[in-house]
Amino acid sequence: MMKSDISNYRKSYLKGFLSENEIFDNPLKLFNKWFDEISDTTLEIEINAMTLSTIDNDGFPRNRVVLLKYFSEEGFIFFTNYNSNKAKSILSNNKVSLSFFWEQMERQIIIKGRAFKTSDDVSENYFNSRPLGSKIGALVSAKQSSVIPSRSFLENKFEKIKKQFENSQISRPLNWGGFIVKPIEYEFWQGRENRLHDRIRYIKKGGKWITERLSP
């Protein structure tokens, strides 16, 4: 039986702190502040990468990394194939969770909320801004998450569609678009020494955000 002991994999968190004096009445302001601070680093990372958690029809949770494309008071927007497993899960149960982990600053943000399809205009505008290769990719993976025979199957299909649209525009497929996650709860986590991490939670009650500190 294969066994790996990684119990000694540990590090100290010393890069920051989160006090009540540093937070805002609105959690989006703190999210924006942290996002700007990680954006200012010179590290080549996808800072807009976030883990999306959904509940499958079999009752099991499923996580995957998607890319955040817009955020505002209304919510957090990402785009996907509406035939994908993630989209099917959301359309069946729209209670989801998003999480960002920025190891370079020893920070994590968890957002709980409900996901809804964006308007056609939002989906159209973003799709039209995508590089040509990404547009073709959306057509190639029209049946996302389905079983395919090989890698070459995808590549051949890509070249075929590329040639087909050589002299014409690619319109957004109707099975491709955005979801907006409307938050009801945020948790901001800042790693601290001796595992005494700072955890500040925002919960929406009666249209207002209530803050509370959680035990690490």
Q: Note whether 178 and 190 are within 8 A (CB).
A: no
Residue 192: its pLDDT value, please?
Answer: 97
Nearest to 94 by CA among 84, 86, 106: 86
Consecutive 10-residue runs of the chain (216 residues): their mean pLDDT? Answer: 86 92 96 96 87 96 98 98 96 98 96 98 98 96 91 96 93 97 98 97 95 98
Longest CA–CA separation in the chain, Å: 61
Is 195 one of the annotated active-site residues of the chain? yes
Question: How far is 135 from 126, CA to CA, in rounded Å?
Answer: 11
Residue 146: CB atoms within 10 Å? 10
Predicted pLDDT at 42: 67
The CATH superfamily of 20-213 is Electron Transport, Fmn-binding Protein; Chain A (2.30.110.10)
Rounded Cα–Cα distance for residues 115 and 122 (Å) = 15
Active-site pick, 62, 64, 195, 213: 195
pLDDT, residue 3, reads: 82
